[in-house]
Amino acid sequence: MKGRNMNPSRSRTFGMTCLLLALAIVGCQPTGRHSRMTTMSDPHWAIERIPLDRSAAQFTNFTREHLAYAQSLLSQTLAVSGPRTIANTLDPLNEMWMHVDLVASHSELFSQVHPDEAVRHAAEEGSKEVSKFVTGLWLNRDLYNAYAAVDVSGADEATKYMVTKALRDFRREGVDRDDATRAKVEQLNQEIVDLGLAFKRNISEDTRHLEVESPSDLAGVPKDLVDAWVKESEKTPGGRIRISTDYPQYVPFMKYAHSDPLRKELMTLFMNRAYPANIEPLTKLIARRDEKAKLLGYANWADYATEINMIGSGANALAYIDRVQGITRAAADREIGTLLEYKRRHDPAAEGVNAWDVSYYLNKAREDRYDVNPQEVRRYFDFPDVMDGLLTVTGRLFDVKYVKVEGLPLWHPDVTAYDLVRDGERIGRFYLDLFPRENKYKHMAQFDYAQGVAGKRLPQAVLVCNFPKPDGTPGSALMEHGDVVTFFHEFGHLLHTLFAGRQTWVRNAGISTEWDFVEAPSQMLEEWAWRHETLKLFAKHYETREPIPADLVAKMQKARMFGEAYHWARQTWLAAISLGYYTADPATLDTTQKMIELTQKYSPVPYMEGTHFQCSFGHLDHYSAVYYTYVWSKGIACDLFSPFEKNGMFHGATARKYRDRVLAPGGSRKAGELVKDFLGRDFTLDAFERYLKQGA
């Protein structure tokens, strides 16, 4: 998942479009020099000067400092007399956005990951301040006129496209509306930010636990996990074993635990995270977005959110997920029927498969039908090996190197830093925050830290995950293969951000394409976690150090397709929730009842009584109506992968062409044009449909 930033084609919270993250020009402390424009020779542009860990007071100073610089640059630009040019208008405004976006990216990240509650609060306040500032920019008619007055007829295509997007985004925010409308938009934008922050906070701060009496309650769970959980229980009052709703414990318990009642109990806890706290913020968030969309002339928020995406409209998005549902649903129902057969081996009276059964019986069926023992597979994926392997595989694929950076003042001891190097030149830096902890973001995502600008600023990004944490002992952090796939996926976002960090305009940098394209490169990179050609480089048995056998990988690939129809049918269910909430009438919307209705229509398994999944479905905030992008992007990813499938996983010319023509351009061109430049033709969904029908 791509983390939220100031780009409302990716994040609708701030009501802006195509704003990318930025670069630090000064440190945390005020300098009192807001009136000057920073130049490339300013030492504060150095990557080492971007602040990392900081106190709440320092974060507040940082926010105010950069917004003051942004205001100064805005004032200077609007005061320009004479003809407007790229040099006297677009260049200083580019620096303005760089300041603004730096505040936005740091605020978003630290509100989600910093261990100090005071810093998280300061970061939330930073999000509010930068949102208010940016809303004012988009509603500023003088600023709109300044952009419109610049003659870009002789400029390069990237500059023309940037200005075209900017003028479009001004109009989408209501710059040409009357004063009353613009004032209302400003109010709604701020309310949307506040509600989104509350929604996220309630999720990240809610970890629930299933408590069991003895190791016998964990029957079926791999021994290394049982031993670790029992050891941890020795530290808790009463010595009861606690299994949390965080992924490193939740996922394997649901996959392996024999106890049907305990799986149901843990899933109920998981599906009720942030309930009831998020019922009100979510309902209001949907209502405020709907009000804004209608105020600006749209039928609903889904139409507003999708207008600038590849799909074009909410109706097109719904038609697409219905199309995928039509391809997958019959096969998904057959898969569920097979799972029922396995369930009846344990419970002859079973009448159906429930949500808490799926992972467990998929595991059983794959093991039985394809001779794949997932507990055996885990032994080849010790976290340190996977970490090294990810860097080895992507380094070889994209012809880059990774250099670990020591001694930085990072926000938690678990966080590590690396420089990305190509041809001996550092081209970016990234940070890895990979293990779960209290009050940390609960999912997996890449967050921007500082978008790169050619000749001025190197890009920086952060990967935030929740993988098992090693303790230095071999085998102490064995990963499910699905987690390995996720690691490759999220790292794909990070590389996209860094490779696209050499654009002239910050609004074209990073993953600033249409939002329903952003998952495609990451979904494509998942394939490198499925092939023996790549896995043999790092997947080694944690005890014997033997590489994973080719025949085991072949079995894994066959087993992969069983359950794939269910997976994509489930994705259409999630997409339907996203679209359904944001096309409904907020005045009558009951989010739980709507969830039940959409589950009955789209989900291959019945609604789980007494649960409120919508309260922890974080995508309803920052993806809002466009969760369908996972289904849409997968179609593009399958097409993008076809040249690698033909030429080889490490084919140098193909990889370089993909890196330079799809990833590096960032948002300087339309996504469809980038794909066409790589494939030599328009993309089609044929490869995706063939893929889906393999499991049908």
pLDDT 10s digits, 206-215: 999 999 999 9
Report DSSP letters for 146-173, one per residue.
HHHHS--TTS-HHHHHHHHHHHHHHHHT
Judge if 169 and 215 occupy the same domain: no
Judge if 169 and 211 occupy the same domain: no
The enclosing H or E element of 463 equals strand 460-464
**With pLDDT > 90 as the criterion, what percentage of the chain qualifies?**
89
Give the C-alpha distances (Å, rounded to integers) separating 233 from 208, 240, 247, 257, 685: 15, 6, 18, 18, 50
Q: Residues 3, 445: contact at Cβ < 8 Å?
A: yes
Q: What is the residue range of 423's domain?
A: 383-562+630-694
Minimum mean pLDDT range among 36-40, 153-157, 394-398, 621-625: 36-40
Domain boundary among 124, 149, 174: 174
Q: What is the pLDDT of residues 631-679, one digit of tens each?
A: 999 999 999 999 999 999 999 999 999 999 999 999 999 999 999 999 9
Judge if 116 and 251 occupy the same domain: no
Phi and psi, residue 34, nearest 5°: -65, -15
Average pLDDT, the chain: 92
Q: Has residue 37 got a pLDDT over 80?
A: no
DSSP 3-state of 83? coil
Cβ partners under 8 Å of residue 179, min gap 6: none
What's the CATH number where 14 sits?
1.20.1050.40
Residue 46 confidence (pLDDT) = 62
Chain position carrying tokens 């678990």: 414
Domain boundary among 231, 251, 271: 271
- Rounded to two decimals, the pTM is 0.91
Sign of CA dihedral 334, 338, 341, 343: negative
Residue 187 inside a domain? The answer is no
Token code pair at residue 464: 């935030």
Residue 560 confidence (pLDDT) = 93
Q: Residues 495, 398: contact at Cβ < 8 Å?
A: yes
Q: Has residue 596 got a pLDDT over 60?
A: yes
The three-state DSSP-derived secondary structure of 384-448 is HHHHHHHHHHHHHHHCCEEEEECCCCCCCCCCEEEEEEECCEEEEEEEEECCCCCCCCCCCEEEE
Residue 403 confidence (pLDDT) = 98
Residue 579 inside a domain? The answer is no
Residue 696 confidence (pLDDT) = 52
What's the CATH number where 486 sits?
1.10.1370.40
Judge if 389 and 519 occupy the same domain: yes
Judge if 162 and 237 occupy the same domain: no
Residue 124 inside a domain? The answer is yes
Chain position carrying tokens 């606690």: 242
Judge if 7 and 65 occupy the same domain: yes
Q: Has residue 617 got a pLDDT over 90?
A: yes
Q: Residues 289, 192: contact at Cβ < 8 Å?
A: yes
Q: Residues 600, 630: contact at Cβ < 8 Å?
A: no
Judge if 154 and 225 occupy the same domain: no
Domain boundary among 152, 174, 196: 174
Residue 237 confidence (pLDDT) = 77
**10 Å Cβ neighbour count for 46?**
11
Q: What is the pLDDT of residues 519-550, one digit of tens each?
A: 999 999 999 999 999 999 999 999 999 999 99
Judge if 409 and 556 occupy the same domain: yes
d(CA 179, CA 182): 5
The count of domains in the chain is 3
Q: Residues 69, 92: contact at Cβ < 8 Å?
A: no
Among the listed residues 130, 140, 138, the one whose alpha carbon sits nearest the alpha carbon of residue 193: 130
Judge if 541 and 457 occupy the same domain: yes
The pLDDT of 505-523, averaged and rounded, is 96
Residue 616 inside a domain? The answer is no
Phi and psi, residue 16, nearest 5°: -130, 170
Q: Has residue 41 got a pLDDT over 80?
A: no
Q: Has residue 30 got a pLDDT over 90?
A: no
Judge if 147 and 233 occupy the same domain: no
What angle separates helix 564-581 from helix 686-694, to the nearest 10 degrees? 120
Q: Which amino acid is at 552?
A: L
Q: Most distant CA pair in the chain: distance in Å?
A: 84
Q: Which amino acid is at 496?
A: H
Q: Has residue 219 got a pLDDT over 80?
A: yes
Residue 571 inside a domain? The answer is no
Pairing relationship of beta strands 445-450 and 460-464 according to DSSP bridges: antiparallel
Q: What is the pLDDT of residues 224-237, one digit of tens each?
A: 999 999 988 877 77
Q: Has residue 21 got a pLDDT over 60?
A: no
Judge if 44 and 103 occupy the same domain: yes
Judge if 516 and 450 occupy the same domain: yes
| Selected residue with higher pLDDT from 68 and 12 | 68
| Selected residue with higher pLDDT from 597 and 239 | 597
For 175-214, b where at least 16 C-beta lie within 10 A, e where not — what string?
bebeeeebebbbebbbbbbbbbbbbbbbbbbbbbebebee
The pLDDT of 478-493, averaged and rounded, is 97
Residue 50 confidence (pLDDT) = 83
Residue 607 inside a domain? The answer is no
Phi and psi, residue 429, nearest 5°: -140, 145
Q: What is the pLDDT of residues 315-336, one digit of tens each?
A: 999 999 999 999 999 999 999 9
The pLDDT of 544-562, averaged and rounded, is 96
